[in-house]
C-alpha cells in the first residue's frame, strides 16, 4: 500500500482547509465514524424504564447504519489484508481484538445471547472502521486530522444531546447541569492532548482551544483529575530533564494529592465544582452501582462473567436506572469475568507502553492521550461496553499506537518516520 512521507515541505504545500483536508480526503470509513455520534445524538432520547429495551424507529435507524457500514467494510477487506498481519505484531491491537472476540464468544453463556451478539457485531464494525481509516491515512498528520475531527464532532454531539435531554427532563435550572457530559469531556481531553504538538497550526490550534473549552464547561471531575495528572506526568517525565526540576515537580505532585484528598482547599472545590458533599462521598451514585454489580453480577459469575452487555442490561431491568457501569474495568469484569478484566488491564498498559516508545512531540501527545483516557475510564466504560464515543476514541488511540509502534520496529531505530499508512 502506498504511503506518503510526512515532511515540512509537504505540510507547507498541501496544508488543506478543514473541509477540503478532512472530509474531501478522508476515506469512507472515517466518514462513517464521524457520522456515528451525529446519528446517536439524533436517535437518542429519554425513555421510561419499561420502554428501554423496546426496538423503536430510532433503534432501527442505528441497526440500519451498522448494517450498511458492515457490508461496506466486508467489501473493503481486501484492501486491509496486506497491512493487518504486520499490525497484529503489536500487543495493544492483539489485546483489543482478543477482547472483541471474547465478547462474541460470550453469547454462548449470556442470558441474552441476541443482545450480546448484536453488541459484538456493533463493536466489530466500529473497530473495523477505525482500522480501515488508519490504514488509508496518507501520513501521521492526515491520521490526526481525521481523529481530531471525529473528536470534535463527538464532543459537540454528546454535549448537545446532554443539553436537550436535560431540558426535556426539566433540569434546565443550571447551565452546569445542562452541559455536563462525562463521555464528551473525556473525548475532549484526548483531542486536546493530541492537538498539542500542532497547537500553533491552523486547524489544530482551533481544535486545541475548543477541546480545552469543552473540558472546562462540562465540569467532569474525573476529567479534571485526569488532565491534571496527565499534565504533571508530561512535565515530569517528558519535558523536565534536570534532577532538580523533577524533585520540585514530585513535591508539587504530593502537595496536589494531599490537597485534592482533603477537598477543602480551593483546588479541591474547583475539581469537584458544583458537587455536593453527598455526591462526592458516593461518587455521584457510582459506589452504590458498583456495589450492586459486585453483589448481583461479579460474585455470581466471576470466571466468565454475565456475557457482553448482559450484566448491564440486567442492572437496568432490575433497578430501573438506565445507565452504564461507569467504570471500564468493572464493566469488563461484569461482562467477561476475569479474562475480560485481564485483557482490559493489558490493553491499558500496552497502549501507554507502546506510545512511550514513540519519540518526539507526537509520542508525548500519544502517551498523554492514553494516560488521560484510561484515568477517565475509571468513571466511563471505554472499550468495555457497547459502542459509543469513548469506545471509538480508545480504539482509535490503540490503532494509532499500533501503527507507529510497528513502524518503529520495522525501521529499527528510536524514532519513527512520520508516516502511518501500511
Q: What torsion, rounded to 10 degrees, do the Cα atoms 119, 123, 124, 127 define?
A: 180
DSSP 171: -
Alpha carbon distance 103, 315 (integer Å): 18
Sequence spans of domains, the chain: 13-173+285-411
State the pLDDT at residue 407.
Answer: 76
Q: For residues 121 and 263, which has the higher predicted lDDT (pLDDT)?
A: 121
**pLDDT of 59-103, one tens digit each?**
788 889 999 999 999 998 888 888 888 888 889 999 999 999 999
204 has pLDDT over 90: no
Burial class (CB in 10 A: 0-12, 13-18, 19+), 118: middle
Measured CA to CA in angstroms, residue 42 lies from 23, 156, 401 at distances of 21, 12, 32
What is the reported pLDDT for 271?
Answer: 53
**Given 3-state DSSP classes, what are the helix, strand and coil percentages for the chain, each rounded to the nearest 5?**
75, 0, 25
What confidence score (pLDDT) does residue 107 get?
A: 92
Amino acid at each position: 500500500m502506498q504511503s506518503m512521507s510526512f515532511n515540512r515541505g509537504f505540510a507547507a504545500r498541501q496544508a488543506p482547509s478543514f473541509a477540503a483536508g478532512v472530509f474531501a480526503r478522508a476515506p469512507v470509513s472515517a466518514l462513517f465514524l464521524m457520522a456515528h455520534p451525529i446519528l446517536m445524538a439524533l436517535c437518542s432520547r429519554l425513555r421510561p424504564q419499561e420502554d428501554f429495551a423496546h426496538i423503536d424507529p430510532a433503534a432501527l435507524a442505528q441497526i440500519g447504519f451498522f448494517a450498511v457500514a458492515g457490508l461496506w467494510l466486508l467489501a473493503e477487506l481486501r484492501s486491509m489484508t496486506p497491512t493487518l498481519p504486520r499490525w497484529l505484531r503489536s500487543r495493544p491491537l492483539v489485546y483489543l481484538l482478543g477482547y472483541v472476540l471474547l465478547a462474541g464468544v460470550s453469547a454462548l453463556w449470556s442470558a441474552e445471547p441476541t443482545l450480546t451478539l448484536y453488541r459484538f457485531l456493533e463493536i466489530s464494525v466500529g473497530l473495523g472502521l477505525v482500522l480501515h481509516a488508519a490504514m488509508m491515512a496518507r501520513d501521521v498528520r492526515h491520521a490526526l486530522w481525521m481523529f481530531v475531527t471525529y473528536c470534535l464532532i463527538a464532543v459537540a454531539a454528546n454535549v448537545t444531546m446532554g443539553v436537550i435531554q436535560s431540558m426535556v427532563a426539566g433540569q434546565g435550572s443550571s447551565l452546569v447541569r445542562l452541559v455536563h457530559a462525562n463521555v464528551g469531556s473525556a473525548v475532549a481531553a484526548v483531542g486536546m492532548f493530541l492537538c498539542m504538538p500542532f497547537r500553533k497550526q491552523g486547524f489544530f490550534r482551533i481544535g486545541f482551544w475548543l477541546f480545552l473549552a469543552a473540558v472546562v464547561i462540562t465540569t467532569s471531575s474525573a476529567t479534571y483529575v485526569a488532565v491534571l495528572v496527565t499534565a504533571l506526568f508530561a512535565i515530569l517525565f517528558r519535558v523536565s530533564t534536570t534532577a532538580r526540576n523533577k524533585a520540585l515537580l514530585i513535591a508539587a505532585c504530593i502537595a496536589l494529592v494531599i490537597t485534592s484528598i482533603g477537598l477543602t482547599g480551593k483546588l479541591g472545590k474547583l475539581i469537584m465544582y458544583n458537587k455536593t458533599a453527598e455526591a462526592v462521598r458516593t461518587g455521584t451514585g457510582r459506589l452504590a452501582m458498583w456495589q450492586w454489580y459486585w453483589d448481583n453480577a461479579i460474585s455470581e459469575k466471576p470466571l466468565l462473567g454475565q456475557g457482553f452487555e448482559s450484566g448491564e442490561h440486567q442492572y437496568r431491568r432490575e433497578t430501573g436506572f438506565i445507565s452504564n457501569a461507569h467504570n471500564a474495568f468493572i464493566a469488563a469484569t461484569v461482562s467477561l469475568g476475569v479474562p475480560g478484566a485481564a485483557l482490559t488491564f493489558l490493553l491499558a498498559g500496552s497502549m501507554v507502553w507502546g506510545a512511550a516508545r514513540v519519540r518526539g512531540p507526537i509520542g508525548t501527545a500519544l502517551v498523554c492521550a492514553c494516560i488521560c483516557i484510561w484515568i477517565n475510564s475509571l468513571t466511563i466504560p471505554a472499550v468495555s461496553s457497547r459502542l459509543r464515543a469513548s469506545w471509538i476514541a480508545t480504539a482509535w488511540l490503540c490503532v494509532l499506537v499500533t501503527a507507529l509502534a510497528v513502524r518503529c520496529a520495522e525501521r529499527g531505530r528510536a524514532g519513527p518516520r512520520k508516516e502511518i499508512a501500511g
